Structure 1
Amino acid sequence: MFRLKIVPDDTNFNFMAPWKYTFGLSMILVVASIVAFFSIGLNFGIDFRGGTSIRTEATQPIDIGAYRDAIAPLELGDVAITEVFDPTYGPEQNVAMIRIQAQGEAESVTPATLSQVEAALQGYDDTLQFTSVESVGPKVSGELVQEAILAVIAALGAVLVYIWLRFEWQFALGAVAALVHDIILTIGVFVVLQMRFDLTTIAALLTIVGYSLNDTVVVFDRVRENLIKFKQRPVEEIINLSLNETLTRTLMTSFTTLIALISLFVLGGDVIRGFVFAMIWGVFVGTWSSVYVAAVVVKRLGVKRDWGKGADKAGTQFKTSDAK
């Protein structure tokens, strides 16, 4: 039966050889991301900063780029424009949603500014009408920030319990360490590049947690199988063997995911670009952390060598003296 092979079956990369340098690099980047977060800060979008949402309707097709160019001279800061699709709309019912960040200390965009936005857009399309205007105040945006943080913490907690029940506490700590690493580095790159951070980015973070966890669980499952199968081999060799055995799967999954993500990044437009960028970054750091964070933590903490009955009498418990 035909089976695509990215790497030969006898591949034997020594992934663990430079673990001190790779793990150290990850920790340096984590610390740098935390420092950048507190010194520079995130470029929060309207969801977290507050602002005004304007719903428009026109008979002509919506050109998001033209809408953005018409509003740009007003210098309103962060402006997000999306087209609203609904199967119930007719061919002459083109609806768009325009979100404008809060201006200074004001809770919403002033009527004078709204009039300027309306005049600018109607200068491009005189059929355009403003059908509704809604404001997101500081209180609502603050609640969204709290809920976003709770969502990420809840996801990490669920992962900790899941891995602990499926494997052992050492694996659980390794998986959570890798996920925290991925989240912090993703936030760090958004800080450095000053990309808009909004609810779609939170969705990307949670998706990265799922992607990285999937890769980590595959590696851990193979590590556990090999720990039972090869009771006399050093744990570092077992981890290397497991990483090599899952290397084809890791490369195939990452490659096919990146094909879709890069296509969305190039062709998807400005609305989803932040989400897609976070996902592309997450594929790289998620794959990295599965090897050089999660596996290293398990190596250093030590694990049981046999989950079968009588394992405690077999003398196969991993000793911390094996760690280098």
Structure 2
Amino acid sequence: MTAEASGAAEIRGALVRLRRATGLPVAFGGLVEPGRPRVRISELTGTATLALSALAVVSGNGLGGKAVALARPCAVTDYSMSRRISHEYDAAVAAEGLRSVLAVPVVVRRRVRGVLYGALRTAQPLGDRTLSAAVAAARDVEQALVVREEARALLAAAAGPGASSGASYGASPGEPASGAAWEQVREAHAALRALAPRIPDPELRAELLSACGLLTAATAPAAAVRLAPREVDVLACVAAGATNAGAAARLGLGAETVKAYLRSAMRKLGAHTRGEAVTAARRAGVLP
């Protein structure tokens, strides 16, 4: 799946969740076109016509363009009559019969990547509950896009020069690579392992964990020891330098739970210290 296709899929899923959470009859949205200051409306749900399909919304124009330009949510109670927006897209909005409309930007690393819209066919205020649900849906898309980008970066790092050859970094046979470059890969791996359990989308979560698995598979033989996913998560945090308390905060677990996972992992790996456990896990191909 291309980055554009995966982004569109995230937009589509967020729109469905938005309608389910709010009862809004219509939701639509799309991504910012690469290299252009405009959003292309590609995903629609609840619409009665194709008037909005493939509409290009330029930054600053209309409600969505205003949301893009300001990088914050915007709403109007009666689209065609509002003096707070420009009216380049009135014909398409009127053809669909929309009146009250909100637009929430999808912002990743301070850059607007898309817009989610929700709308009513009557002119009435869209309350705080509706706006909060729309913002939450946009945050879901933002998180998903970040995770996918981090996963791609992780795989690229694993496939890059030196990722499968310890000689480039002067590493020992049990350690595929070392040095600052490989430490960045390990930190990214730990961060992604910590993030994965928080992802509600099972397909995205599986994709992320698969990326982590490809990285470890590229750097060491298949593991002879079988660790539980949470044991690997804790070891990844420990390998990145986290204390038990830090790992607990990162993983959303209790400190005692982290200790229990760590003790179990150490027992399986035959390790007596945290450092030994990390080393054994790397040699077994559990960690990069």
Shorter-chain TM-score range = under 0.3
Report 1 or 2 for greater relative contact order, CA contacts < 8 Å, sequence distance ≥ 6: 1
User: Which structure dedicates a bigger proportion of its chain to helix?
Assistant: 1
Larger C-alpha radius of gyration, 1 or 2? 1
Q: TM-score, normalised by structure 2?
A: 0.27
Q: TM-score, normalised by structure 1?
A: 0.25
